[in-house]
Amino acid sequence: MSEPKIEGYKFKPGYSGMAADTASDQTMFKGVHWGKAMMWIFLLSDTFIFSCFLISYMKGRASTPVEWPNPSEVFALNAFGVPVPLLLIAIMTFVLITSSGTMALAVKYGYERNRKMCGWLILATALGGLTFVGMQAFEWSKLIHEGVRPWENPFGAPQFGSFFFMITGFHGTHVSIGVIFLFIYAYKTFAGHYDEGKRGWFTSMKGDYVEIEILGLYWHFVDLVWVFIFAFFYLW
Amino acid sequence: MSEAKKEQTTTHKIGIYLWIWGLLFVLSFFSYMVDWYQFQGLLRWSLILIFMFLKAGLIMAFFMHLFWERYALVNVLLWPMTAIACFVGLMVAEGKYTLFSRIFYFFVGGQ
């Protein structure tokens, strides 16, 4: 976010800057808070986990001679007596993007030290996430009611259920954890912990609005993963 | 952080976030339309992938601020994705082979 300044070090732009930063016998990610760098590295490892899930889904779907259930029909929802394809999934997608937008604005207002605005936007993000998890629970119970199990389902290839529960379940867990942290951070923001530099509960680190950006990175990642799940699992 | 350093933290104009937000809505709407109009075959797959990568790129570049980060961080994060791309390529080939052998031995039998 900020233009980094380090005394006695001249920043170069672009790839020559990358080479200089990496070879400078100092910290490599200059101007990046260590918590932010660690969050990025965690997200990178999480990317690999989700990639493994999606790749195994691709391989499972590609290697079965049995017809794959048509997600457009499986996830259709009756609206006013008419089956609308993927209705719930589309709403879930829009809810998650909305919450991602409020999170981005919360980060911006946090850095501008606008405590109230930042807090309300984090709260809005948390409520969006909660709505998403609620709709996912509804979707799960609907499919379980229709007889979808990890080992069988009435629509087609039996692998469908195991991939569905594994992938959306793991993503839903991420959303749930994110919602818990969003509520905690909303409280901490309203209480002014980031304005006063109050130390955290599990860390001696002084509170700063950079923590909102770190939380934001996690939340945007959850949205990012949903973009891929939406494309590959629901649309493909 | 000292007071002087705090004031240096620059933020971006709200317009850019609202633009990206709007674009994400539009792109999601388009990808939903791919299913609504039941495009099939290569058209469907390419449209899904285009909208997916556009959305992912916008989120990473602007919401996650990668567009403004230094290359040392950006490259550390993006190059490992090539390993995933290789993995995808390997598993596409493997999936085709598994399907082939399943169908082949179904007709030819074991031994």
Query: How many domains, in total, are found in chain A?
Result: 2
| Mean local confidence (pLDDT), A5-18 | 83
Q: Are residues A10 and A54 in the same domain?
A: no
B75 in a structural domain: no
Q: What is the CATH number of the domain that holds A131?
A: 1.20.120.80
B31 in a structural domain: yes
Q: Are residues B49 and B87 in the same domain?
A: no
Q: What distance, in Å, lies between the first and last C-alpha atoms of chain A? A: 36
Shortest Cα distance from B6 to chain A (angstroms)?
Answer: 9
- At A19-57, the pLDDT tens digits run 888 888 888 888 888 899 999 999 999 999 999 999 999
- At B57-102, the pLDDT tens digits run 999 999 999 998 889 899 999 999 999 999 999 999 999 999 999 9
Q: Are residues B63 and B105 in the same domain?
A: no
Q: How far apart are CA A93 and CA B25, in angstroms?
A: 9
Give contacts of B65 with chain A, Cβ < 8 Å: 1, 213
Q: Are residues A180 and A112 in the same domain?
A: yes
Q: Are residues A192 and A224 in the same domain?
A: yes
- Hey, how many other C-beta atoms are within 10 angstroms of the C-beta on A200? 13
Q: How far apart are CA A147 and CA A157, in angstroms?
A: 13
Residue A66 CB-density burial (10 A; 0-12 exposed, 13-18 middle, 19+ buried):
exposed
Q: Are residues B98 and B60 in the same domain?
A: no
- Residue A83's beta-bridge partner residues? A78
In terms of residue numbers, what domain contains B103? 80-111
Would you place residue B9 in the very low, low, confident or very high pLDDT band (cuts 50, 70, 90)? low
Q: Are residues A191 and A211 in the same domain?
A: yes
Provide the phi-psi class of A80: left if phi over 0, else alpha when psi is between -120 and 50, else beta: left
Taking an 8 Å cut-off on Cβ atoms, the answer to whether A18 and B64 are in contact is no
CB proximity A82 to B under 8 Å: no
Residue A74 CB-density burial (10 A; 0-12 exposed, 13-18 middle, 19+ buried):
buried
CB proximity B12 to A under 8 Å: yes
In terms of residue numbers, what domain contains A5? 1-31
Q: Are residues B63 and B95 in the same domain?
A: no
Q: Are residues A115 and A134 in the same domain?
A: yes
Q: Are residues B86 and B61 in the same domain?
A: no
Q: Are residues A19 and A108 in the same domain?
A: no
**Nearest residue in B to A37, CA atom:** B73
- At A163-195, the pLDDT tens digits run 999 999 999 999 999 999 999 999 999 999 988
Dihedral of the alpha carbons of A227, A228, A234, A235, in degrees to the nearest 10 = 90
3-state secondary structure of A158: coil
Q: How far apart are CA B23 and CA A98, in angstroms?
A: 12
Would you place residue A150 in the very low, low, confident or very high pLDDT band (cuts 50, 70, 90)? very high
Looking at this predicted complex, what is its ipTM?
0.88
3-state secondary structure of A83: strand
Q: How far apart are CA A2 and CA A11, in angstroms?
A: 13
B74 in a structural domain: no
Shortest Cα distance from B29 to chain A (angstroms)?
Answer: 8
Q: Are residues A25 and A50 in the same domain?
A: no
Give the C-alpha distances (Å, rounded to integers) separating A176 from A54, A120, A143, A196, B65.
20, 19, 20, 29, 24
Taking an 8 Å cut-off on Cβ atoms, the answer to whether B70 and A221 are in contact is no
Amino acid found at A109: Y
Q: What is the pTM of this model?
A: 0.91
Query: Which of these, A51, A53, A52, A43, lies nearest to A167 by C-alpha position?
Result: A53
Q: Are residues B19 and B58 in the same domain?
A: yes
Q: Are residues A79 and A182 in the same domain?
A: yes
CB proximity A223 to B under 8 Å: yes
Q: Are residues B62 and B88 in the same domain?
A: no
Would you place residue B2 in the very low, low, confident or very high pLDDT band (cuts 50, 70, 90)? very low
Query: Which of these, A61, A60, A62, A87, lies nearest to A73 by C-alpha position?
Result: A87
Q: How far apart are CA A132 and CA B41, in angstroms?
A: 31
B58 in a structural domain: yes
Give contacts of A112 with chain B, Cβ < 8 Å: 11
Scanning B37-108, the segments in alpha helix (DSSP H) are 41-58, 71-78, 81-108
Of A47, A64, A231, the CB nearest to B31: A231
B108 in a structural domain: yes
Q: Are residues B88 and B108 in the same domain?
A: yes
Dihedral of the alpha carbons of B72, B83, A220, B62, in degrees to the nearest 10 = 50
Query: How many domains, in total, are found in chain B?
Result: 2
